[in-house]
Amino acid sequence: MHRFANPNRFMRLAGAVLPWSAGLTGLLLVAGLYLSFFVSPADYQQGETVRMMYIHVPSAWMGLLVYGVMAAASATALIWKHPLGDIIAKSAAPIGACFTFLALVTGSLWGKPMWGAWWVWDARLTSMLILFFLYLGHIALNHAFDDPVRGARAAAVLALVGVVNLPIIKFSVDWWNTLHQPSSVLRLDGPAIHPSMLAPLIVMALAFTAYFVSVLIIRIRGELLDRRLRVMQANRARQWQPEAAL
């Protein structure tokens, strides 16, 4: 993977991948929404409110996945000094924050009819809220310093420290007595959800993943072009200064 750390090589690869990932996003999203709202049956206990699951659960999964990507990119930037590590982490953070925020909002909307409250300080909900704050902290640190290198380094450290929250989110329902239901899909003994509901859930998760890949590529390309422009402006300014002195 070292050869893909070269920005020019990455730009060529991204140009080839983006049309496919964007097209796949559109196809999967249309199929997932159709299966979720027109084919999948209503739950015998939750009724039509169970359809919130097809947005809430993939959003929560993506919140965890994107943070893992961000932390891995931060590690490569700190340890191996990959030039794209900080850029990937910086580009992924807002996307992950949006997925996590969507998971919190849809969870609140789903929790009201199920639990009778918009919010409870449940272990799963609280740890997801902490994840959202970690994303916001990473974004803030990237813009908190005049020196972008210092900001990226501080944000990378925060990303690596925050990794400890991921297993807490995953296993919180097993470690503590919470209102949140345990995992129904990622289980050692197999999914505990009916195939008629599992299929649209998986399709929506794949659609969200393809969307993340597409938006991440767009944001990375934009960041690379912005940095290239800043370098050109700095070089032009250095060339102009001696001429002005004469």
Q: What is the pLDDT of residues 126-137, one digit of tens each?
A: 999 999 999 999
Looking at 3-17, 36-50, 105-119, 217-231, which range is the least confident one? 3-17
**pLDDT value at 73 more than 60:** yes
pLDDT at 4: 53
**Alpha-carbon distance 40 to 33, whole Å?**
10
Q: Which domain holds residue 187?
A: 18-245
Q: Which of 39, 64, 29 is nearest to 172 (CA)?
A: 64
**Alpha-carbon distance 35 to 41, whole Å?**
9
Question: Taking each helix axis from N to C terminus, what angle separates 123-142 and 165-175, rounded to the nearest 10 degrees?
Answer: 170
Average pLDDT of the residues in 38-56: 84
* Total domains in the fold of the chain: 1
DSSP the chain: -GGGGSHHHHHHHHHHHHHHHHHHHHHHHHHHHHIIIIISPPBTTTBGGGGGHHHHHHHHHHHHHHHHHHHHHHHHHHHT--TTHHHHHHHHHHHHHHHHHHHHHHHHHHHHHHHSSS----HHHHHHHHHHHHHHHHHHHHTS-SSHHHHHHHHHHHHHHGGGHHHHHHHHHHHS--SSPPPSSS-TT---S-HHHHHHHHHHHHHHHHHHHHHHHHHHHHHHHHHHHHHHHHHHHHHHHHHHH-
Torsion from C-alpha of 110, 114, 115, 120, nearest 10 degrees: -20
pLDDT at 203: 96
Query: Do the domain assignments include residue 216?
Result: yes
Q: What is the pLDDT of residues 181-237, one digit of tens each?
A: 666 665 545 565 778 888 899 999 999 999 999 999 999 998 888 877 776 766 677
Query: Do the domain assignments include residue 83?
Result: yes
Structure token pair of residue 101: 């925020």
pLDDT at 8: 76
pLDDT category, 19, cuts 50, 70, 90? very high
pLDDT at 48: 81
Query: Do the domain assignments include residue 156?
Result: yes
pLDDT at 36: 92
Query: Do the domain assignments include residue 2?
Result: no
**pLDDT value at 79 more than 60:** yes
Query: Do the domain assignments include residue 10?
Result: no
Query: Do the domain assignments include residue 104?
Result: yes
Return the CATH number at 200: 1.20.120
**Alpha-carbon distance 218 to 15, whole Å?**
9
Sign of the alpha-carbon torsion through 229, 230, 234, 235: negative
pLDDT category, 60, cuts 50, 70, 90? very high
223 - beta bridge partners? Answer: none
**Alpha-carbon distance 81 to 152, whole Å?**
12
115 CB contacts (<8 Å, ≥6 apart)?
179
**pLDDT value at 24 more than 90:** yes
pLDDT at 243: 52
Average pLDDT of the residues in 97-108: 95
Looking at 32-41, 144-153, 227-236, which range is the least confident one? 227-236
pLDDT at 183: 63
47 - beta bridge partners? Answer: 43
Compute the chain's Rg from CA coordinates: 21
pLDDT category, 1, cuts 50, 70, 90? very low
Please tell me which residue, 106 or 195, carries the higher pLDDT value: 106
Query: Do the domain assignments include residue 202?
Result: yes
**pLDDT value at 7 more than 50:** yes
Query: Do the domain assignments include residue 8?
Result: no
pLDDT at 3: 57
**pLDDT value at 238 more than 80:** no
**Alpha-carbon distance 90 to 195, whole Å?**
37
- How confident is the prediction for the chain on average, in pLDDT? 85
